[in-house]
Amino acid sequence: MKKHTLLRYANGDAYLPLYIKSLERTWAVSQPEKIPAWNIITSILLAKDCDLNVALDELQKYPIDLIDWKMENSHRWDLRGDPIVARGGNRQATKPVPTPENGIFRWNTNPRQFDAGTGGLREETGTYFLLPYWMGKYHGVL
């Protein structure tokens, strides 16, 4: 499998094990968020299965309608609140809100945020789905 980024040029580099260890550490932090792009990117770079089944499941659940509808989950008893607040001081859940019920449309948004969306005032781009899907197909991991 073709390597990318720094790993592509690090053959024989004394720091290669450190780069790999850093990527594995980043994956350990990212894994619980269930964001398909990170599962696929990490699987490709580490040349091993980093929850590809989770990535595929998340992609299959992703809404085709890209309208940024309002999602309110802060009232739910089945989502426990995290004592640590998110960016901006907003409350968040201890685990990601299920994909069809959350407002995540970008990799840098918080999948654990209770409430999200603009009430249909914005349409998202679809890159949240398209990049991991086609990257996974191109590299043969999906």
> How do residues 50-66 score in pLDDT, each as one tens digit?
999 999 999 999 888 88
Ramachandran angles phi, psi of 38, nearest 5°: -70, -35
Percentage, residues of the chain above pLDDT 90 = 58
Nearest to 33 by CA among 56, 53, 58: 58
Is 60 exceeded by the pLDDT of residue 1?
Answer: no
pTM of the model: 0.85
Q: Which residues pair with 116 in a beta bridge?
A: 71
Whether 40 and 132 have beta carbons less than 8 Å apart is answered as: yes
Residue 113: strand, helix, or coil:
strand
Q: What is the pLDDT of residues 65-76, one digit of tens each?
A: 889 899 999 999
pLDDT above 90 for 105: no
pLDDT at 11: 76
Question: pLDDT value at position 3?
Answer: 59
